[in-house]
């Protein structure tokens, strides 16, 4: 799926941009390292922190997520439900983003890695002269679990 980052890699990314790895930022980042491939909202992160008996306020979580997103350490995603979600930004500039499958009933987000749009990008480029550098695809539907409940 993309490369795996360590806390040291993430600390280096922060320092390159003149930011410190505060204990709060480290704790928030650790949540993402402990939940690879998950798309977590600020509330999800805060809930996990509370389960771990870590006392970091929701406002601090929001600030940390915004900063880490601005710095490119986390990737911020919107799935049309008004709730921003984040994941560690493992995007290799030579690869496309993975695509997302979003359940409209339970809100679960899954990743889908097959890049089916390579030919379409080439076609667009040939026909219009537009050089596509990346794309994001979101499929909205009903996951297997929610279908099984119906």
Average pLDDT over residues 55-73: 89
User: How many whole angstroms separate alpha carbon 94 and alpha carbon 142?
Assistant: 31
From the annotation, which residues make up the binding site for Zn(2+)? Answer: 103, 106, 143, 146
Residue 124 vs residue 72, higher pLDDT: 124
2 pLDDT exceeds 50?
no
Helix axes 23-34, 7-16, angle to 10 degrees: 130
Counting the structural domains of the chain, the total is 2
User: Based on the domain organization, do 88 and 113 belong to the same domain?
Assistant: no
- Using DSSP bridges, classify how beta strands 109-112 and 84-88 pair: parallel, antiparallel or unpaired: unpaired
Tens of pLDDT, residues 96-130: 556 778 788 887 777 776 666 777 888 888 999 98
- State mean pLDDT over 53-63: 93
Lowest mean pLDDT among 42-56, 59-73, 76-90: 76-90
CATH of the domain at 129: 3.30.1490.190
Mean pLDDT across the chain, nearest whole number? Answer: 81
The β-bridge partners of 87 are 75
Binding residues: 97, 103, 106, 118, 135, 143, 146
Per-residue pLDDT band at 50 (split at 50, 70, 90): very high
- Domain range for 11 is 1-93
Confidence of residue 57 (pLDDT cuts 50, 70, 90): very high
> Is pLDDT above 80 for 67?
yes
The proportion of the chain whose per-residue pLDDT surpasses 90, expressed as a percent, equals 25
Residues 21 and 89 reside in one and the same domain: yes
> Each residue of 34-47: pLDDT tens digit?
887 788 999 999 99
70 plus 117 within the same structural domain: no
What token pair was written down for 47?
């809930």
Checking if the pLDDT of 91 tops 60, the result is: no
User: Residues 61-79: what's their mean pLDDT?
Assistant: 86
SS3 string, 35-67, reads CCCCCECHHHHHHHHHHCCCCCCHHHHHHHHHH
Measure the CA–CA gap between 7 and 65, rounded to whole angstroms: 15
Which residue ranges make up the annotated binding site for Fe cation?
97, 118, 135
DSSP string, 69-114: HHTTSEEEEE-SSS-EEEEE----TTSPPPEEEEETTT--EEEE--
- Tokens representing residue 132 in the block: 């596509």
User: What's the CATH number where 56 sits?
Assistant: 1.10.10.10
């Amino acid at each position: 799926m993309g490369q795996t980052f360590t806390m040291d890699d993430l600390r280096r990314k922060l320092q390159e941009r003149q930011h410190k790895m505060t204990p709060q930022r480290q704790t928030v980042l650790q949540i993402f390292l402990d939940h690879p491939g998950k798309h977590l909202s600020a509330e999800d992160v805060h809930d996990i922190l509370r389960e771990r008996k870590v006392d970091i306020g929701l406002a601090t979580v929001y600030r940390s997520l915004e900063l880490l997103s601005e710095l490119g350490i986390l990737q911020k995603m919107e799935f049309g439900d008004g709730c921003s979600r984040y994941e560690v930004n493992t995007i290799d500039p030579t690869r496309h983003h993975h695509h997302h499958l979003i359940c409209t009933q339970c809100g679960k987000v899954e990743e889908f890695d097959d890049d089916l749009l390579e030919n379409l990008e080439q076609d667009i480029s040939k026909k219009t002269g537009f050089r596509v550098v990346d794309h994001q695809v979101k499929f909205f539907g009903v996951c297997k679990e929610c279908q099984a409940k119906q």
